[in-house]
C-alpha cells in the first residue's frame, strides 16, 4: 500500500497510539533537512499534507523545498505540497527535505535515492543502507572494478547517467614493501613465491630477503615459507638479493 493518499479526503484526530505516534498528543515523524540528521516533529493531523509537514518542521517557505518520504523499501518518494501522507498504523516515517538545486538521483543497492547536491557523503550512504562497520560502500563500475567510497569521504554524483552504489563486506588489505615499493594484498599471509609473483619482472637469480625486526638480522624467505603480514608485526619490508651474495 502506498504511503501517499489522494488529497481532498476527510479524517478525524485519532487518540490511539500506534508505532511512531504519541497518544492524545498527535503523530510523530522524523525529519531531516539536506541530510540524514533526523529530528522528531509532531503533527496533529494523522494524514498531513507535504505543506503541513514542512510547516511543522519550521519551513514556511514551502515552495523553496522538495520533500521526500523514505518508504519501507528505502526509496525516496516525492511528496508534493498538497499531497497527503497517511501516518496511521505505521512506524515513525522518515522525511527528508532539500532546499538546494539541482536534485540528483542515484541507486543504493535496490533503493532509489534523491539527493540535493553534486556529491553525497559516505556517512549518508552508510546511514541510508543501514550497514555496520564490517561492510563498505562501493560505486559500481560496469565492466570494471567497483570503486570503494572511503570512510568519511564523498561520492561524486555529477557523472552522466544514474550512479549505482552497492554495499559489501569491507575488504581488509595488508601492505608490505619490496625494494622500497609498496604493495597490497587481501591475504594475511603470503609465501615467498607469492610475493615474488606480485613483483613485476622479478629476477629469478635473486632471493627474497626479509628485513629483520629490531636487532634481528635480515634473512632469506624460502618460496614455500608463509610470512604473516599482520600489522602487529609492523610493516614487512622485503628486498631482492643475488643468491650468491647473501650471507
Residue pLDDT, tens place only, 172-191: 889 999 999 999 998 999 99
**By mean pLDDT, which of 8-22, 35-49, 204-218 is the weakest?**
8-22
pLDDT digits (tens, 9 = 90+) for 135-174: 999 999 988 889 999 999 999 999 989 999 999 998 788 9
Residue 121 and residue 50 share a domain: no
Domain that includes residue 76, residue range: 1-99
Residue 188 and residue 120 share a domain: no
CA-to-CA distance for 203 and 226, rounded, in angstroms?
Answer: 20
Residue 215 and residue 139 share a domain: no
- Render the burial of 41-79: b for 16+ CB within 10 Å, e for the rest: bebebbbbbbbbbbbbbebeebeebbbbbbbeeebbbeb
Res. 80: pLDDT tops 90: yes
Q: Is the separation of the CB atoms in 154 and 121 below 8 Å? A: yes
State the chain's mean pLDDT as an integer.
89
**At which of 112, 138, 171 does a domain end?**
171
Res. 14: pLDDT tops 50: no
Q: Element (H or E) spanning 43, and its range?
A: strand 39-43
Amino acid at each position: 500500500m502506498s504511503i501517499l493518499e489522494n488529497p481532498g479526503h476527510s479524517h478525524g484526530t485519532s487518540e490511539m497510539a500506534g508505532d511512531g505516534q504519541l497518544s492524545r498528543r498527535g503523530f510523530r515523524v522524523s525529519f531531516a533537512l539536506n541530510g540524514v540528521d533526523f529530528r522528531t516533529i509532531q503533527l496533529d493531523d494523522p494524514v498531513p499534507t507535504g505543506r503541513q509537514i514542512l510547516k511543522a518542521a519550521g519551513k514556511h517557505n514551502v515552495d523553496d523545498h522538495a520533500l521526500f518520504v523514505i518508504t519501507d523499501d528505502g526509496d525516496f518518494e516525492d511528496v508534493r505540497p498538497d499531497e497527503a501522507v497517511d501516518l496511521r498504523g505505521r512506524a515513525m516515517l522518515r522525511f527528508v527535505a532539500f532546499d538546494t538545486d539541482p536534485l540528483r538521483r542515484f541507486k543504493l543497492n535496490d533503493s532509489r535515492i534523491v539527493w540535493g547536491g553534486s556529491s553525497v557523503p559516505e556517512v549518508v550512504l552508510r546511514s541510508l543502507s543501514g550497514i555496520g562497520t564490517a561492510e563498505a560502500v562501493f560505486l559500481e563500475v560496469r565492466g570494471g572494478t567497483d570503486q570503494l567510497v572511503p570512510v568519511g569521504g564523498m561520492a561524486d554524483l555529477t557523472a552522466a547517467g544514474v550512479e549505482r552504489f552497492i554495499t559489501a563486506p569491507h575488504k581488509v588489505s595488508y601492505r608490505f614493501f619490496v625494494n622500497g615499493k609498496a604493495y597490497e594484498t587481501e591475504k594475511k599471509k603470503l609465501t615467498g613465491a607469492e610475493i615474488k609473483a606480485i613483483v613485476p619482472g622479478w629476477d629469478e637469480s635473486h632471493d627474497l630477503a626479509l628485513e629483520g625486526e629490531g636487532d634481528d638480522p635480515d634473512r632469506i624467505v624460502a618460496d614455500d615459507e608463509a610470512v604473516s603480514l599482520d600489522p602487529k608485526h609492523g610493516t614487512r619490508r622485503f628486498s631482492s638479493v643475488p643468491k650468491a651474495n647473501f650471507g
